[in-house]
Amino acid sequence: MSNQVHETAVISSDAQIGEDVTIGAYSVIEGPVVIGNNVTIGHHCLVEGATEIGDGCQIFTAAVIGSPPQDKKFQKTDRVYLKIGKDNIFREYVMVNPGTSAGGAITTIGNGNLFMACSHVAHDCHIGHDCVLANYVGLSGHVTIEDKAVIGGLSGVHQFTRVGYLSIIGGCSKVTQDVPPYSMVDGNPATLRGLNVIGLKRANLTSEVMLALRRAFKILFNSGLARSHAVSEVKEQLGNTPEVQRVLEFIESSKRGIS
């Protein structure tokens, strides 16, 4: 199967296009873009800059991928990058920016993520695999999203905040502090509401692991102990459970505090 490029599409001579690629009407591929195999780019899209798009990605109408970061410090001469993995879906009007020189110069996105309409990934963000950003989610610069996280529609995530593995954020939330792995947060500002029980079940975690996480969360967030003492208590009682270890490592490495 050959590439299907609409006659009105504009493709830079610097771009590298893989096989079985579809590019819709009035879309523009500008600069040293690298597009993998079996990628679909819809109508009126813009892909530009030092952007790499992995195999099997789908980019829907009017998405803007790789446009310069929305940062006053950015200079046109800066060498910045956007690297996108495989099988990601970018719905209508999604915007993704590359990194900045001050922030590591690269934005990265893993595999199998869904970015719903009008969501925004700002400069220097790092997103893992199998995440979902619902409609109108906004990630400020330098945000890290770990694998399998879900962010509800109209939520905003503050700069330098981390969202942990298999966590879920309720719609319309204002996230200003780190979201622990396996947790559920909601509100303005977002606060911890408990375990992401439905997510844990869908991930086929055993009842023993879920019980250990419940006990760990109770000690960490509901015991009234100081954070350092609570962490020590959980290490002593439940530290042999890998999932609990993940939570503890996340908390101990937090710089913004925990929601």
Distance CA 243, CA 20 (A): 41
Q: SS3 for the chain, per residue?
A: CCCEECCCCEECCCCEECCCCEECCCCEEECCCEECCCCEECCCCEEECEEEECCCCEECCCCEECCCCCCCCCCCCCCCEEEECCCCEECCCCEECCCCHHHCCEEEECCCCEECCCCEECCCCEECCCCEECCCCEECCCCEECCCCEECCCCEECCCCEECCCCEECCCCEECCEECCCEEEEECCEEEEEECHHHHHHCCCCHHHHHHHHHHHHHHHHCCCCHHHHHHHHHHHHCCCHHHHHHHHHHHCCCCCEC
Q: Is 24 a catalytic residue?
A: no
What are the CA-CA distances from residue 250 to residues 49, 117, 126, 196, 206 (Å)?
33, 30, 16, 16, 21
Q: Is 124 a catalytic residue?
A: yes
Q: Which of 49, 103, 110, 123 is catalytic?
A: 123
Q: How many CA atoms lie within 13 A of 154 on its CB side?
A: 5
Catalytic residue among 36, 42, 99, 124: 124
Catalytic, out of 85, 141, 152, 156: 141
123 is catalytic: yes
Catalytic residues, by residue number, are 123-124, 141
